[in-house]
Amino acid sequence: MAATAPTVPTAADAATTGQISFSLKELDVGAGFTWGRGRLVYGGRTYDFTISGGGLVGVGFSRIEASGTIRNLTRLRDFDGTYWAVQAEATMGRGRGGKVMENNHGVDISLTTSTRGARLAAEAMRVTLHLRQVA
């Protein structure tokens, strides 16, 4: 009988623990700024959140609509935090894309995006997601 090496789980293997959607705006002149609002569906409830942050090396303005899935969210408080992503965008009019972000609690967000505007960027992006009100 042949021995097989154990497999290491990846983010794609983790179970989906929530859904996310948001709208944001990105404005760049070298350094960029990002801001917006969104909704998290987790544990059968909906939570509003804000987004702020930015990245380096871009020029232009775009509006982004995004939706996606969350993995590895085991406690609601782990959602808040700084998420990192590396992305490239070239939008002239309208565009589509994808993005994967992760925070320091190991929460992964996989997104599908739709953009409008005129923006060219290749950046390391850092955004903070913060729940607006938790009862």
Please count the other Cβ atoms lying within 10 Å of the Cβ belonging to residue 7: 7
Is residue 110 included in any domain, yes or no? yes
- pLDDT tens digits for 105-116? 999 999 999 989
Q: Please give the full DSSP string across 21-81, using - where no structure is assigned.
A: EEEEEEEEEEEEEEEEEEEEEETTEEEEEEEEEEEEEEEEEEEEEEEEEEES--SGGGTSE
Query: What is the per-residue pLDDT for 5?
Result: 45
- For the domain that residue 35 is a member of, what is the CATH number? 2.40.128
Query: Is 10 a member of any domain?
Result: no
In a domain, 39, yes or no: yes
Number of structural domains, the chain?
1
Domain assignment present for residue 48? The answer is yes
2 falls within a domain: no
In a domain, 120, yes or no: yes
pLDDT-based confidence at residue 13 (cuts at 50, 70, 90):
low
User: What's the pTM?
Assistant: 0.81
Mean pLDDT of 39-60: 92
pLDDT in tens, 55-84: 887 888 999 999 999 999 999 999 999 999
Q: Please check whether residue 9 lies inside any domain of the structure.
A: no
Domain limits at 73?
16-131
What's the average model confidence in pLDDT over 93-98?
A: 84
In a domain, 24, yes or no: yes
